[in-house]
A = this chain, B = another copy of it.
Amino acid sequence: MQVTVIENVLKLNDEIAAMNRRTLRDAGVFAIDLIGGPGCGKTALLEATLRRLQGELTIGVAVGDLATTNDAQRLLRHSPHVIQINTGRSCHLDANQVRQAMNQLPLHELDVLVIENVGNLICPVGFDLGQDVKVGMFSVTDGDDKPVKHPPLTNASDVILLNKIDLAPYVDFERERFLAGVRQLNEKAPVLELAATKDQIDPWLQWVKESVAAPAM
Range, interface on chain A? 35 or more
Are A145 and B66 neighbours in the complex by a CB distance under 8 Å? no
Given A38-B146, A39-B141, A67-B148, A91-B89 contact (CB < 8 Å): no
Please measure, in the bound complex, the distance between the C-alpha atom of A216 and the C-alpha atom of B92, giving whole angstroms. 34
Q: Note all chain B residues with C-beta closer than 8 A to A9.
A: 2
Most buried by B among A9, A38, A120, A121: A38
Taken residue by residue from 16 to 39, chain A's Cβ proximity to chain B (1 for < 8 Å, 0 otherwise) reads as 000000000000000000000111
Are A150 and B39 neighbours in the complex by a CB distance under 8 Å? no
| Minimum distance in angstroms from A54 CB to a CB of chain B | 22
Please measure, in the bound complex, the distance between the C-alpha atom of A145 and the C-alpha atom of B172, giving whole angstroms. 24
Residues of A in contact with B (beta carbons under 8 Å apart): 1-2, 5, 8-9, 37-40, 65-68, 70, 89, 91, 118-123, 126, 139, 141-143, 145-146, 148-152, 164, 166-167, 170-172, 197
